[in-house]
Each structure stands twice: as C-alpha cells, then as structure tokens.
Amino acid sequence: MSFSITEENYIKAIFHLQQEDGTVSTNDLSAVLQTKPASVTDMLKKLKTKKLLSYERYKGVRLSAEGRRLALGIVRKHRLWEYFLFNTLQFGWDEVHEIAEELEHVTSKKLVEKLDAFLGYPRFDPHGDPIPDSHGKMTVRQQLNLIDLPVNKMAEVSGVGSQSSELLELLKHRNISMGTKLEVKRRFSFDHSLEIRIKGQQPFIISQQLAQALFVKLV
C-alpha cells in the first residue's frame, strides 16, 4: 500500500505527539498540522480504514504497529536528509528542517539505503535527534537537559529541544552548536538563569528558556 504526502505528514505528526502524550487529540494534531479540527477528524477516519491507527470517536488516536513502522521510515528519511544537507551541502542548522520536510516524501527505498551508506550510517541528525536504522531501531542517547547539569561538570551539546529558527538564530549568535563543550559555573535562582563557560572562552549568562532548550551529555 502507498500513502499520499498528506497522509505521511499526519502519521509523522501523530508519531511525534505520541512520544509525549501516549494518545493524541484531534486539537493537538490540528494545531501541529495547521488544519482545522474537522479536517483532522476526516483524515483520522481514513487512516483508520488503512489500518495505520486505532481511533474511536472522541477518544483520541494511537498508531498501530504498521503506522509506527511507516512513521519511523519517514523520520529516518527526514533525519538522513537533514544530515546530508548539513554535513554534505553545508547548510545551516536552521535551514535543513524545512527542506527535509519535502525530501522525506521521496519514495525510493533504495535511495534511502544508498544515502545512508554514502553518509556513513550516521546515528544522529544535526539537531542531535537519533536516526532510525533500516529496521526502525534508534540509539537512545542518554542526554541531560542543560538546566539539570551539575556545576563544574564538563559536558557537550548533543541536542536541541526545538527547531525554531528563533532558537537557532540565538544559538548561532551565542556561538553554541552541536558538540560545543561547556560547563555550568553558577545558577541564579531569581530567574533561573545560568552562567556557563564554553571551553576556552569567557563565561556568560544564558536564560532559563535557552537552557531548557539545550541537551548535553557528560564528557
């Protein structure tokens, strides 16, 4: 069976929302996909008949095993293309997501496998998110929210919590990117801001919001 780009976008959105919530509501989907709730309801009925998810009126939705498999395939393509755009074509962090949003729908299975091989079977995309392998398995990275990093422990930036261009703009300005080594020097309880020091630079202060959007792993 094959699926339209629209159907694929729904399945991927449900997959991501499910990570947080378990079951996914019509309104959440409508917000993420920028469509009206009525349209979401129609599509859910359709995807149910295609056995990609379980759905009962007013009860929310969950992917079936088949739906999950499909979602993982799309996420795999999305993240592999992001890796390609960032590492091979030198795109910026903030530019890759939007383009991958289209590339993820290219259907050739063989293309995905060849691209994966060409890139050297990368395990994480430019935002630090894991890339599912051809069986849908992904490495779970034990990463820590920067806000929880103990003082004076050296750590390395390994992920971001959002791909908004606003966040990525700030990170560029602050000179923080994937792999940046840093430690927390001090915590200010007034506004929960943090003083951090990037290896080899002067310390500076970042907001609570920024710290919550960054993930690190100890080194």
Q: Are 169 and 185 in contact (CB under 8 A)?
A: no
Give residue 2's Cα distance to chain centre. 25
Question: Based on the number of CB atoms within 10 Å of its own CB, is 95 exposed (0-12), middle (13-18) or buried (19 or more)?
Answer: middle
Q: Give the 3-state secondary structure of residue 60.
A: coil
Report what 36 binds from DNA, Mn ion, a copy of itself, none; CB cut-off 5-8 Å by kind: DNA
Run of H or E including 66: helix 65-83
DSSP code for 84: I
Q: Which one of 11, 13, 14, 44 is in contact with DNA (CB under 7 A)?
A: 44
CA atoms in the 13 A half-sphere facing the CB of 74? 24
Token pair listed for 146:
């920067």
Single-letter residue type at 142:
Q
Q: Are 84 and 28 in contact (CB under 8 A)?
A: no
Query: Among residues 114 and 199, whose Cβ is nearest to a copy of itself?
Result: 114
Query: What contacts 158, CB < 8 A, 6 or more positions away?
Result: 124, 128, 141, 143, 178, 179, 215, 216, 217
Q: Which one of 7, 66, 95, 101 is in contact with Mn ion (CB under 5 A)?
A: 101
Query: Among residues 25 and 209, whose Cβ is nearest to DNA?
Result: 25
Q: Which one of 21, 42, 102, 166 is in contact with a copy of itself (CB under 8 A)?
A: 102
* Torsion sign (Cα): 176, 145, 159, 213: negative
CA angle 185, 141, 177 (to 5 degrees): 50
Query: Among residues 17 and 115, whose Cβ is nearest to a copy of itself?
Result: 115
Q: Which one of 21, 27, 42, 89 is in contact with a copy of itself (CB under 8 A)?
A: 89
Question: Does the footprint of Mn ion cover residue 77 (CB under 5 A)?
Answer: no
Q: How far is the CB of 198 from DNA (least distance, A)?
A: 41
Report what 1 binds from DNA, Mn ion, a copy of itself, none; CB cut-off 5-8 Å by kind: none
Report what 127 binds from a copy of itself, DNA, Mn ion, none; CB cut-off 5-8 Å by kind: Mn ion
Query: Among residues 103 and 198, whose Cβ is nearest to a copy of itself?
Result: 103
Question: Does the footprint of Mn ion cover residue 94 (CB under 5 A)?
Answer: no
Q: How far is the CB of 78 from Mn ion (least distance, A)?
A: 7
Q: Tell me which residues touch Mn ion (CB under 5 A).
A: 9, 82, 101, 125, 127, 129
Q: Tell me which residues touch a copy of itself (CB under 8 A).
A: 85, 88-91, 95, 98-99, 102-103, 105-108, 110-111, 114-115, 118
Q: Tell me which residues touch DNA (CB under 7 A).
A: 4, 6-7, 25-28, 34-46, 55, 57-60
